[in-house]
Amino acid sequence: MQTFDALVLGSGLAGQALALRLAEAGRSVALITKQHVEDSASSWAQGGVAAVLDSEDSVEHHIRDTLVAGAGLCDADATRFVVEHGRQAIEWLISRGVPFTRDERSALGYHLTREGGHSHRRIVHVDDATGSAIQTTLTSQVRSHANIHIFESHLAVDLIVGWKLGRPELGCVGAYVLDIEADHVVTFAAPVVVLATGGAGKVYLYTTNPDTATGDGIAMAWRAGCRVGNMEFIQFHPTCLYHPHAKSFLITEAMRGEGGLLRLPDGERFMPAHDERAELAPRDVVARAIDYEMKKRGLDCVYLDVSDKPADFLVSHFPNIHARCLELGIDITREPIPVVPAAHYTCGGVKVDQRARTDVDGLYAIGETSYTGLHGANRLASNSLLECLVYAESAAQDILSRSPVAPPHLPAWDESRVTDADEEVVIAHNWDELRRFMWDYVGIVRTNKRLERALHRIRLLEREIEEYYVNFRISNDLIELRNLVMTAHLIVRSAMQRHESRGLHFSRDYPDASNVASPTILRPRRVRQHEELNAATA
């Protein structure tokens, strides 16, 4: 049994920011990451971090922009909490040495850009690779800190909570973790466990997320007895490069801003028939239009055409896209780019309070795996990294206010009654089936019939996977598939409960928004039973 003061699952911006704060306060931290420390969705973020830094901007403007984007479902207190701590979060990054792009003409000294939905310039960035720059800066400090113990190629299997041990007085006291390279499950014990495992984009066939985004934290928290919220709101980016060797490569919206046109395979434009703003319509409108045309015509993709622009213009304005497409045999100066919409961000997640505490004592959730109420029904651009930073600090303060307590002795992982899997191909087939029907039935446009079909298939997969999980030794793919199926179930259940269209959730059966906006909160059976008992004894 490995024992630490805190166990942090996930090594993105949220996890690293929290680990550094705890370590610098003298706490021993185990940082668990299933690939390398640098591998996370945070490092892929291109835009930047939104915060009120300019004298012409204000907290009230940023709050208003966030509430508008959230389509009436943002939690007002959480939104104000995050926005009011924005400048402090940026100053912390600057103090760590993050090399934000400078602009000496600015009173602040840093260049601020503006993105869709923002009324002012408030995005501080590092050129067009902000996430990578932040991650690189913090990773070097995480790796060199004596109090942070990094476990790469380790994947959390499940949380260890008191009620599962027959000790209901205990909260979350650790986790079982698979050492992927050694193929052995290790018991990690800690009085504090933090979920910073990112989103669930891999539940869909097409996603901009890294392979690590398999909903692990959300699924583990649900099994531990935590509520989840707003899981139906999945943000889709309209244009991801469609190519068998172009995993998760985005084609920036700026390309449409510079005159790029969306076309069908025969060259016909289709956006003017969907919205008067055509290719310059908002992200969700364009994504729905592409989805509609693909489903109607049975297409694998549509095409973004900028070939009428001068070649030197395209090379100078979009050098990374030009170079990557050329590697794949696509010359964007001469031919259109095959694109599809792709799952981009999970707006819902594990329900937490302003100190990032979940329903289970000792268990925290931060970053994309959490549901704070900030994003509502649609995330405002560049608010995600800000949320990571603000809640990492808030969680750290709460954790440090707790007196370190030695966790109890925990039972080792029991493999005595399982055997080696006889057909690993079953896992691969189930993984592929799940991602395809989630894309077809629970994607950008939904219907009651599609959701019912998806739920039926999910229940079949759940039974098959659980039988596999119980009888055979676990593997990396099995753990991720188990978590993905559970996360998919939560997404579908949430979508079925929302009888309206709002933000990122669009239903053909309920095309209008309701007069009253309410979040979708799902409660595990254990939580429901506890609430019913309290009501009966009140």
Catalytic residues, by residue number, are 283
Indicate the SS3 state at residue 129.
Answer: coil
CA distance 65 to 82: 13
Reading the block at residue 482, the tokens are: 């188990």
Can you point out the beta strands (E) in 274-376? 302-305, 337-346, 349-351, 363-365, 370-371
CA angle 271, 272, 278 (to 5 degrees): 65
Inter-residue contact 240 to 248 (CB < 8 Å): yes
Name which of 94, 64, 97 is nearest 79 in CA terms: 64
The residue type of 146 is A
Angle subtended by helix axes 59-69 and 76-84, to nearest 10: 140
Give the burial class of 308: count Cβ atoms within 10 A of its Cβ; 0-12 exposed, 13-18 middle, 19 or more buried.
Answer: exposed
DSSP conformational letter for 250: B
CA distance 243 to 319: 19
Indicate the SS3 state at residue 267.
Answer: coil
CA distance 185 to 121: 48
Residue 347: phi and psi, rounded to 5, are -75, -25
The residue type of 408 is P
